[in-house]
Amino acid sequence: MAIYEGAPNAFATGPSKSNSLVAVSTGLLAGMSREEAEAVLAHEIAHVANGDMVTLTLIQGVVNTFVFFIARVVGYFVDQAMRRNNEESSGPGIGYMVTVFVCDLVFGVLASMIVMYFSRQREFRADSGAAWLLGTPQPMIHALQRLGGLSPEPLPANMASAGIAGKGGISACSPPTRAWRSA
């Protein structure tokens, strides 16, 4: 466990259940009740118990590998279709390069949606795990409501163009799976 100076936030990191860190900011501790802060910490502990950090890293890596591979296969076939039958070349042509670039972008966006789906499922599961650890979903519900109402700190001027402002939602807390309870 660690506490750091900063805006309201908490996270879990680490390669395994026995070698992980759960960190919470002073901004989150100051802006929440003890019950809400405990729910947030339980949520992060559930991420550790579920192995979410490694799982999402592996999902991202596998999806990126498919994007890389499929884009190049499509690029190869487009390049072959664009070449004249008697044309010899020592390397890929412009058809390959353009197709790979476009496919990397398109497949990358599609892959991001897949990763976001799995990430959202893991967040719901961590919410459920927090409710299970605390014996009731109410602290988690209150913490999510509080997080939705906290106003984010303004972004530095040089990063404002990349900022996305919005309100967080409240997720339902369902019982954890058997696999989680046995962990």
**Catalytic residue set:** 44
Copy the structure tokens of residue 121: 């499922």
Q: How far is CA 181 from the centre of its chain?
A: 23
Q: Is 174 helix (H, G, I), strand (E, B) or coil?
A: coil
Which of 60, 45, 61, 52 has the alpha carbon at shortest distance from 15? 52
Q: How far is CA 15 from the centre of its chain?
A: 16
User: Of how many residues is the chain composed?
Assistant: 183
Query: What gap in Å lies between CA 69 and CA 108, rounded to an integer?
Result: 12
Copy the structure tokens of residue 178: 């058997």
Report which residue type is found at 37. Answer: A
Q: How close are the terminal C-alpha atoms of the chain, in Å?
A: 19
131-145: string of b/e by CB count within 10 Å (b at 16+)? Answer: bbbbeebebbbbbbe
